[in-house]
A and B are shown apart, each in its own frame.
Chain A
Amino acid sequence: MTLVLTSHERAMLDGSGTEAERIAMSIIVRVADVMGAEQLLEIGGAHIDSCLYHGRAGLDFAERLVAGGGRVQVPTTLNVSSLDLLHPELYRGDAETAALARRLMECYEKMGARPTWTCAPYQLDARPAFGGHVAWAESNAIVFANSVLGARTHRYGDFIDICAAITGRVPAAGLHLDEGRGATLWIDVAGVPGALLEADVFYPVFGHLLGKLAGVGIPAVTGLPAGVSEDRLKAVGAAAASSGAVALMHIVGSTPEAPTLADAYAGAVPSAPDITVTMDHLRAARDELTTASGPVGVVSIGTPHYSVAELETVARLLDGRTVATGIDLYISTGRNVMAAAADAVGRIEQSGASIVVDTCTYITPIIRRPESAVMTDSGKWAFYAPGNLGIDVVFGSMAECIETAVTGEVVRDDTIWG
């Protein structure tokens, strides 16, 4: 198999365009070779994770592209950064790192990307169409694009995301192709009680379990009610892309490539599920998301960034009450969602909670009490914080998180888990 380029692609690679196009195309071609692609595909958009500061290497790469005349060729959105530009007082890191992080953000703006600063680009105005090819980075966005929107993106990460945006091309391989999108694993949840399937708290826990079961595979899930909401699918995907590397999941009856189990499988459907989920599986998954047993000093919700509907639910649950002394409540969302939910945001801020935009509490120093345990409703936050930040966590539903924040005592009702 040999990669065949069009004359325009060849010109970019040969340096007939800008230096940034030459660098970007050389990287796309290297990856295409490794993936066994025979051609490149044109993309309709990109979502960039490289704008989050991890050190000089990322900044050096971005500045090299800017100096080389780098411009994105397709509509491009930007993932969370290290800074909340609208609430700069929340940042508790050192000034030098903040300045470097800001420089990195400016590089991507200079290359023509939209300063959206959200991990939930699917909550922005323009979304990729069903079947459309995009280059999205950020694991929760990737699984949402592939599964919920039925758009097509491979698992892209830092560096290749901007290379795809500059060239407008990705390798024709992996999850871009029909043959790469069939289910590899059948997981059935029909035995789970209906009351639990009706509860929001089920979905991040199930996602955590799904990631552990599926690993890098493509799960087909049967037994969930038809038409699972986008916010619940967001919670499943974010958790499954953290505990595992799930980039596409077929939720039969909810996601557009899986009206039936047969549609989820590219070929023959197995005669029985690979895994039948039991309450023991689910209770174990729930327990893995909690590492603290004592009190919490912080409640952090909104990972991935909350939607308008989720912010409205928070405002309703707060019901005019204030956050307890001794607790900090952080609620992360996108700046676009904050603007669209102005009424709910106003009511939330009156409670004493902090709205965080442009970044997230687990990737940059924002939390004022890093020594205390943190309660969250996010499977992703609960998965990463103990290992990566050394922060102990308590997992609970959004409602339990809010009750904990206003009472100051950890509120958790486990009866729904049997």
Chain B
Amino acid sequence: MTTPSGDEVRVLVAGAGSGPVLALDEPLSFWGGVDPETGDVIDRRHPQHGSNVAGTVLVMPGGRGSSSASSVLAECLRLGTGPAAIVVRDADEILMLGSLVAGLLYQRSCPVVAVVPEQFARFRAADHLIVDGGRIGS
């Protein structure tokens, strides 16, 4: 992976990851929203119901505040069904914790970065993104 020369972003969890973009139209709770066995989005009320987060750069407004989302994200990362990277508009400590603990236990964290609204709109529209350290590029 080449280091992207693109935008500087705020790092919540460090690391590198790249993949096709999965852009979510609404916040998503991993708890009740993602099946850790498959990575499928199972929340029937979510606009992206039926898509799969595994290996994607997940570009999402944020989590939904559910306390259990940290555990479910960590379980996804343990099982290899988690995203390659997460890009959020609203910094989310609950998602951050899931990735941090997957790193601590299994060396399987995914980078989590927060971006400003202008960047968020642009990254949502990208096909493929590379997140590395404090930078994102396509």
Chain A positions near chain B (C-beta within 8 angstroms) = 23, 27, 30-31, 34-35, 49-50, 52, 54-58, 60-61, 64, 79, 137-139, 142, 154-161, 216, 241, 244-247, 384, 386-390
Contacts and interface: CB of A to CB of B under 8 A. Distances in A.
Contacts of A137: 67
B45 interface: yes
B132 to A, nearest CB: 18
A139 B67 contact: yes
A57 B93 CA distance: 18
A49 B67 contact: yes
Contacts of A155: 65, 67, 93-94
Interface centre among B33, B36, B42, B96 (most CB of A within 10 A): B96
A56 B36 CA distance: 11
Given A52-B68, A57-B78, A157-B94, 11 more contacts: A27-B100, A30-B100, A34-B12, A55-B36, A55-B78, A137-B67, A155-B67, A158-B71, A160-B93, A216-B62, A245-B63
A253 to B, nearest CB: 26
Contact of A386 (B44, B67, B70): B44
Contacts of B135: none
Interface in B70-108: 70-72, 74-75, 77-79, 90-91, 93-94, 96-98, 100-102, 104-106
B45 A57 contact: no
B134 to A, nearest CB: 13
Contacts of B90: 216
Interface centre among B66, B67, B96 (most CB of A within 10 A): B67
Contacts of A35: 93
Given A155-B94, A216-B90, A49 B65 contact: no
Size category, B interface:
35 or more
Contacts of A56: 75, 78
A384 B68 contact: no
A58 B46 contact: no
B123 to A, nearest CB: 20
A268 B42 CA distance: 43
B111 to A, nearest CB: 13
29 contacts: A30-B100, A31-B97, A49-B67, A52-B71, A54-B72, A55-B71, A55-B74, A55-B75, A57-B106, A58-B74, A61-B101, A61-B104, A64-B104, A137-B67, A142-B67, A155-B93, A157-B67, A157-B68, A157-B93, A157-B94, A158-B97, A158-B98, A159-B70, A159-B97, A216-B62, A245-B63, A245-B64, A246-B65, A386-B44
A389 B64 CA distance: 17
A387 B45 contact: yes
Contacts of A142: 67
A105 to B, nearest CB: 14
Nearest to B112: A34
Contacts of B96: 30-31, 34
Contacts of B62: 216, 245
A154 B67 CA distance: 11
Contacts of B94: 155, 157-158
Contacts of A30: 96, 100
B43 A388 contact: yes
A138 B65 contact: no
Contact of B65 (A27, A158, A245, A387): A245
A246 B27 CA distance: 14
B17 to A, nearest CB: 18
